[in-house]
Amino acid sequence: MIPDEGEPAEITPAHAELEAALTAVVRWASRASVVRQLAGPAAAGLSPTDLWLLDGIVRHGPVRASDIATWQGVDRSTMTAQLRRLTGRGLVDRDPDPRDARAVLVSSSAAGRRLHDEVRRQGARVLADLLADWAPADREAFAGLLSRFAARLGPGPAPR
């Protein structure tokens, strides 16, 4: 989780270098052409938000729609529209929560899991090409450190 604004951390040149690198990665990853390349043809017609949402549901589901909205930082009505798109494509299933009939549990369908797997494989292929000239030890170190950083950003939605 991102730390609260309290006592500021000491900022070193390495922090500034990381901030610049992260900005460049975010800018690169948000380009429409890169999103299409990373997701591949199987995800045509899905937005980056759709794919991010499907990833969270596959990894953490079944999960309440309200928990997904909280995790994503949006209103429940926004989440309903997003889930409707995924449901309409047969990628997620919505079922009543057996513990609370007023709530809905969202889980990935078999088609959703297949698409998720294909998107992950496609993204891994793109990254393999980008890092092909790196030494294996450097690729492993980078993957480990970036994964550790990503874990610090916060968990996904709470599974039920």
Any domain includes 11: no
Which pLDDT tens digit goes with each residue over 63-97? 988 888 888 888 888 888 889 999 999 999 999 98
DSSP run (H or E) holding 19:
helix 13-29
- Give the number of domains in the chain: 1
- The model's pLDDT over 95-139, given as tens digits with 9 standing for 90+, comes to 998 888 888 899 999 999 999 999 999 999 999 999 999 999 999
What's the rounded mean pLDDT across residues 127-155? Answer: 94
Strand, coil or helix: 131: coil
Q: Looking at the domain assignment, is residue 57 inside a domain? A: yes
- State the Rg of the chain over Cα: 18
Is 124 a domain residue? yes
Q: Show the domain range for 140.
A: 46-152
Q: How many CA atoms lie within 13 A of 61 on its CB side?
A: 24
Place of tokens 């949006």: 74
- Say whether pLDDT at 2 is over 70: no
Residues 6 or more apart from 24 whose CB is under 8 A from it? none
Q: 146, 157, 124: which is closest to 58 by C-alpha?
A: 157
- Identify whether 102 is part of a domain: yes
In a domain, 146, yes or no: yes
User: Residue 4 — pLDDT band, cuts 50, 70, 90?
Assistant: low
**157 vs 107: which has the higher pLDDT:** 107
Q: What is the DSSP letter of 106?
A: E
Omega prior to 62 cis, within 30 of 0: yes
Pairing of strands 100-108, 92-97: antiparallel
Q: In this predicted structure, what is the pLDDT of residue 72?
A: 83
pTM for the complete prediction? 0.84
Does a structural domain hold residue 160?
Answer: no
For the domain that residue 138 is a member of, what is the CATH number? 1.10.10.10
Please indicate, yes or no, if residue 4 is contained in any of the structural domains. Answer: no
Flag whether 145 is in a domain.
yes
